[in-house]
Amino acid sequence: MPLPVLKKEKNPVDVIAFQGFPHGLNTNIPSFQLIKSELARCVNWEINKGGQLQTRYPIVQYTNTATTSNASVVAFAEIPIGGTNRKLLADANNVIYYLDGNLDPVTITGTLEGTPTFIGYNGVAVILDGGRIKYLDGVSTVKIAYDDGTGTSGYQCNNKDADDSSSIALGNGTNTTVAYKFTSQVWTTGYTIPPTTVTAKLSKNGTPAANVISVVVRKVSDGSAIATKTLLASAATLTTVATEYTVDYAASDISSQLVPNTAYYMSVEHTGGDAANYVKVHCTSVGSGGTAFYYAGGIWNADTTRTPNISLRPGMPPKASFGGVFRGRLFVAGDSSNPGYVWFCNLTHLDWSTANGGGYIGAIDASANNFNVGAIQVLYDNLYVFGKETQPYIARLAYFDPSAYELSPFFIAGWATHKTCVNTVNDLFFGAGEGVGNLSGVQEFGDIRALAVSDPIYDRIRTHWNTSTAMAGYYPKDGQYWMVMPTYHRVLVCHTKLPIAEPLNERILRYPWAEYEFYRNILTTSTYKWTASGSGTNEYYVQTAAGGDPGFLAQPDFITLENIKIDEGTAGSLGDHEWDYGDNDTLGYNTVYVRDNSGDPDSSGVAIRSILVPTSLGTVGSDIYIGGSDGFVYVPTTGDYKDLEEYQIIPRLKTSYVEVPFKHVNLTGFQLLTHSRTGAGMSIKLFKNGMQSEYVTNWTINLSADDDLTLAEVTMDLEDAEFALNPNQTPLWKRCNVIARSFQFELETATVTSFPIYINGMFVKFRHLSL
């Protein structure tokens, strides 16, 4: 009897779909803990507005030439000055420049006191550099601002409102000048300010001579006049009642301006008259220390029992490092003398003290020191003030009348640095040691809520954060917040316009992150050669292919070897995979040294790259401008596909490590949803069973060019033409036969051609196996 035929069931086939990666990069937890919509690595990819991964656009050199001595660019902005938009930059040597029509930096006279913040205000560029506020009303000379307000700080000398309890005779046949002797305030050497307004209290005795009364600013050192103005055309117009007279100096009245910490006479001058007919210059009687002087008999005579009722404006503005414009006023902070103050101007950068117009607000309380200010930013119709790490808070300006201003705290745990606090149009993003946070405006009610957005990459911030050096900028074209920490070789990129619900809490929004790695040079190409150093073990230095000076303009920010950052050491005693910059072989020039125990980099085939880390970020229009440590400014471009038009951008990504619970599976197929209009080449690695450095399969995928591609669109270099011409011959799926209980995919060594590469997701086909 024949045996019955048994029907054998096939193992079921299933598919795992990686439907895009909308949650972005997550390096804060192991890849085994990630969900499929997260990435364990995301270098040189962005998430575009369609939700796809897209290779970032390259950067190109923007400025034609570098700063003096290739000093690092530490600030960049475009400011309207006198009706003309000017691109301004500053370097690490406190030199300020504007860009001319050829995009060459042109030095502006005047030395800064620190890294500046540039703010456009009323047709000038206000410069906040930690010292007294400065400004540009043209592009020839930096000027120091002043306080021409009527408050206490608006004067070089001031006794006009004090008692007029005595007087000194002027034009009495003996005294031709009565003066208030003062020493100008202290400000930065090299800057000058003009005298603006003088006030004197006068009356008459008898009938003074009908001669002019002048007000003259004179140097004490030699008596020379620096400013002269007629106060009264005739002394005959005086009355017997003490009256305050005021006059403004015009530019034509001033032969030279006031310099800091210098002794001057603010004098009232008149000739003629006699002992019964003269001008009375009113004074306040004091027991000692009076400032009155009078000129008689060819000499200056002190009267220490009197101080004239005379004043001279202007005084000095506050010190500031950062600020913003809100409701027509400039608000600034970062005053080292008053770290808890937010100063505001009286609708001009030259008045900081007029009552109910200019002045200051104490953050939280009236003290200058209790609640130091870390940042100021404007969002919608609100001004926000952030505390510092030592005293965190976030406050909002209450009331819109200067006489009623106060800063009301609404969060007590937030703080920020001004270099990382950025307006991203709908939100404020700000950095601190605890991570990146944001203030989001809720359109319906206009209220504000604080969210921490950097948890997925907090390990990067925890390792590299430095309150003094961390900085950020906004790239409007892609809606990205860029954070730079100078000890980290990549830029952390937050996609501020692509919020997505957190996987475990849909009430919280996550903003996806990625990382950008910019390339200044590739040192293992035919342009260069590596030569064994005469010092150290297995140390090599780079030269031109002909054996000469490679012409590096500045020390590299970082060096990577095979896409891994290597540490900086000391030439002559480098460890394996360390580098240095200098001349350890009496070459007569500086170059890069690398130790590689695997041999000469020319022979070993390793890729050694010089990394560019921004030294400043500035937003102009829809672009972001990148300052470099070599003194150049760079900008992203859609007109090329290589950094600096020479270097492939090397996009890499790694998926989560997918765990299959309680079983092994047979991976039978892989498909990548990807496209590039001009084709591209890439490799995909498969890792399994927890292995992260040893892969089991490496597939090469060559994307085909579109069949309607025009010749004008094919702009890639011949060496990058790693793509297929016929779409029918290039399936984007691969067969495999891998038994695994967990697996992970890595994309690396992608070769970008004329157009970006796009990735929508991945599919993995597998069969279930028995336990």
Query: Who has greater pLDDT, 724 or 488?
Result: 488
pLDDT digits (tens, 9 = 90+) for 186-244: 999 999 999 999 999 999 999 999 999 999 999 999 999 999 999 999 999 999 999 99
Q: Please give the average per-residue pLDDT across 332-349, as a whole number.
A: 96
Please check the confidence at residue 356 and state whether its pLDDT lies above 60: yes
∠ at Cα 443 (118, 120), nearest 5°? 15
The residues that bridge with 740 in the sheet, in sequence order, are 665
Q: What is the pLDDT of residue 717?
A: 65
Task: Report the C-alpha gap between 441 and 579 in whole angstroms.
Answer: 47
Q: How many domains does the chain have?
A: 4
SS3 108: strand
pLDDT digits (tens, 9 = 90+) for 48-72: 988 899 999 999 999 999 999 999 9
Q: Is 693 left (phi over 0), alpha (psi -120 to 50) or beta?
A: alpha
Q: Please give the average per-residue pLDDT across 643-659, as a whole number.
A: 95
Please check the confidence at residue 450 and state whether its pLDDT lies above 60: no
Query: Who has greater pLDDT, 700 or 447?
Result: 700
Residue-averaged pLDDT of the chain: 93
Q: What is the pLDDT of residue 446?
A: 42
Please identify which residue in the block is written with the tokens 């002797």. Answer: 181
Q: What is the pLDDT of residue 715?
A: 66
| Per-residue pLDDT band at 729 (split at 50, 70, 90) | low
Residue 506 belongs to a domain: no
Among 263, 292, 313, where does a domain finish?
313
Q: Please give the average per-residue pLDDT across 124-135, as a whole number.
A: 98
Please check the confidence at residue 502 and state whether its pLDDT lies above 60: yes
| Per-residue pLDDT band at 751 (split at 50, 70, 90) | confident
Residue 51 belongs to a domain: no
Q: Please give the average per-residue pLDDT across 650-664, as a whole number.
A: 94
Q: Please give the average per-residue pLDDT across 504-532, as a whole number.
A: 94
Residue 102 belongs to a domain: yes
Q: What is the pLDDT of residue 707?
A: 76
Residue 582 belongs to a domain: yes
| Per-residue pLDDT band at 6 (split at 50, 70, 90) | very low
Q: Please give the average per-residue pLDDT across 406-421, as a whole number.
A: 91
Same domain membership, residue 323 and residue 307: no
Same domain membership, residue 284 and residue 192: yes
Residue 642 belongs to a domain: no
Q: Please give the average per-residue pLDDT across 250-260, as a whole number.
A: 98
Q: Please give the average per-residue pLDDT across 15-22, as a whole number.
A: 91
Please check the confidence at residue 578 and state whether its pLDDT lies above 60: yes
Same domain membership, residue 323 and residue 294: no
Q: What is the pLDDT of residue 145?
A: 98
Q: What is the pLDDT of residue 440?
A: 79
Same domain membership, residue 339 and residue 473: yes
Q: Which domain holds residue 660?
A: 13-44+651-768
The residues that bridge with 58 in the sheet, in sequence order, are none
∠ at Cα 73 (69, 75), nearest 5°? 145
Phi, psi of 88 (to 5 degrees): -115, 145
Which CATH number do you get for residue 201? 2.60.120
Q: What is the pLDDT of residue 20?
A: 86
Same domain membership, residue 308 and residue 160: yes
Q: What is the pLDDT of residue 716?
A: 61
Among 124, 109, 118, 116, residue whose Cα is nearest residue 91:
116
Q: What is the pLDDT of residue 545?
A: 97
Task: Report the C-alpha gap between 596 and 606 in whole angstroms.
Answer: 10
Please check the confidence at residue 714 and state whether its pLDDT lies above 80: no
Cα dihedral value 594, 599, 600, 602, nearest 10? -110
pLDDT digits (tens, 9 = 90+) for 597-614: 999 999 999 999 999 999
Q: What is the pLDDT of residue 444?
A: 37
Name the range with the highest mean pLDDT among 18-27, 467-476, 711-720: 467-476
Same domain membership, residue 738 and residue 684: yes
Please check the confidence at residue 316 and state whether its pLDDT lies above 60: yes
Please check the confidence at residue 517 and state whether its pLDDT lies above 80: yes
Q: What is the pLDDT of residue 542?
A: 98
Neighbours of 564 (CB within 10 A): 8
Task: Report the C-alpha gap between 531 and 526 in whole angstroms.
Answer: 14
Q: How many helices (H) and strands (E) does the chain have?
A: 2, 64
Among 252, 280, 313, where does a domain finish?
313
Q: What is the pLDDT of residue 708?
A: 80
- pTM, 2 dp: 0.93
CA separation, residue 356 to residues 15, 333, 376 (Å): 70, 19, 21
Task: Report the C-alpha gap between 85 and 76 in whole angstroms.
Answer: 13
Residue 541 belongs to a domain: yes
Please identify which residue in the block is written with the tokens 């591609």. Answer: 709
Which CATH number do you get for residue 142? 2.130.10.10
Q: What is the pLDDT of residue 705?
A: 82
| Per-residue pLDDT band at 508 (split at 50, 70, 90) | confident
Same domain membership, residue 184 and residue 255: yes
Among 48, 42, 771, 650, residue whose Cα is nearest residue 34:
42
Same domain membership, residue 367 and residue 291: no
Phi, psi of 464 (to 5 degrees): -115, -5
Same domain membership, residue 306 and residue 178: yes
Residue 454 belongs to a domain: no
Q: What is the pLDDT of residue 1?
A: 40
Contact 628, 612 (CB under 8 A): yes
Q: What is the pLDDT of residue 719?
A: 60
Token digits for 70? 């290739």
Same domain membership, residue 82 and residue 160: no
Among 313, 330, 346, where does a domain finish?
313
Please check the confidence at residue 76 and state whether its pLDDT lies above 90: yes
Residue 24 belongs to a domain: yes
DSSP assignments along 654-722, one per residue = EE--EE-TTS-EEEEEEEEEEE-TEEEEEEEEEEETT-SSS-SEEEEEEEEEPTT--GGG--S-GGG--
Q: H or E stretch including 602?
A: helix 601-604
Please check the confidence at residue 512 and state whether its pLDDT lies above 50: yes
Task: Report the C-alpha gap between 269 and 137 in whole angstroms.
Answer: 34
Same domain membership, residue 359 and residue 326: yes
Task: Report the C-alpha gap between 553 and 568 in whole angstroms.
Answer: 18
Q: What is the pLDDT of residue 451?
A: 59
DSSP assignments along 149-206, one per residue = SSSGGG-SEE-TTS---EEEEESSSSEEEEEEEEEPPP--TT--B---EEEEEEEEES
pLDDT digits (tens, 9 = 90+) for 376-400: 999 988 999 999 999 999 999 988 8
Q: What is the pLDDT of residue 728?
A: 55
pLDDT digits (tens, 9 = 90+) for 133-170: 999 999 999 999 999 999 999 999 999 999 999 999 99
Q: What is the pLDDT of residue 506?
A: 81
Same domain membership, residue 325 and residue 277: no
Residues, the chain, total? 771
Token digits for 159? 């006794």
Lowest model confidence (mean pLDDT) among 365-369, 406-410, 694-698: 365-369
DSSP assignments along 65-93, one per residue = SPPGGGPPEEEEEEEEETTEEEEEEEETT
